Amino acid sequence: NAGVMQNPRHLVRRRGQEARLRCSPMKGHSHVYWYRQLPEEGLKFMVYLQKENIIDESGMPKERFSAEFPKEGPSILRIQQVVRGDSAAYFCASSPLAGGYQETQYFGPGTRLLVL
């Protein structure tokens, strides 16, 4: 059973470009969470999704950031018009049950975004 997969592992963008980060949850998992980790900091929650549904986006910046988890395919975190402050590691996690945040989350290896 493959773990949570994220791609790309590393992404370099120039200011103003778009970044698309993909996350495939573990097989059988229908809940996906996105986190951002800035250098020397812990992870900060961004958004919690189920298939075709955003459950909690209280941690998402109000502008330029969006997330989706379509019926088919991976979850996508999109950052439009990136700025240098978006440089961070973005982690995706998935969980299998409907228990929400208190269920164990399984993390992917992360995507490291560098904005030049």
Partner 1 sequence: AQSVTQLDSHVSVSEGTPVLLRCNYSSSYSPSLFWYVQHPNKGLQLLLKYTSAATLVKGINGFEAEFKKSETSFHLTKPSAHMSDAAEYFCVVSDPGNDMRFGAGTRLTVKP
Which residues of the chain form contacts with partner 1 (CB under 8 A)? 4, 33, 35, 41-45, 48, 56, 58-59, 91, 93, 100-102, 104-110, 112
Would you say 1 or 102 has its CB closer to partner 1? 102
CB of 30 to partner 1, least distance (A): 17
Least distance from partner 1 to the Cβ atom of residue 10, Å:
10
Whose Cβ is closer to partner 1: residue 17's or residue 103's? 103
Question: Could you give the C-alpha distances from 53 to 43, 49, 100, in angstroms and in order?
Answer: 23, 6, 14
DSSP string, 79-113: E-S--GGG-EEEEEEEESSTTGGGS--EE---EEE
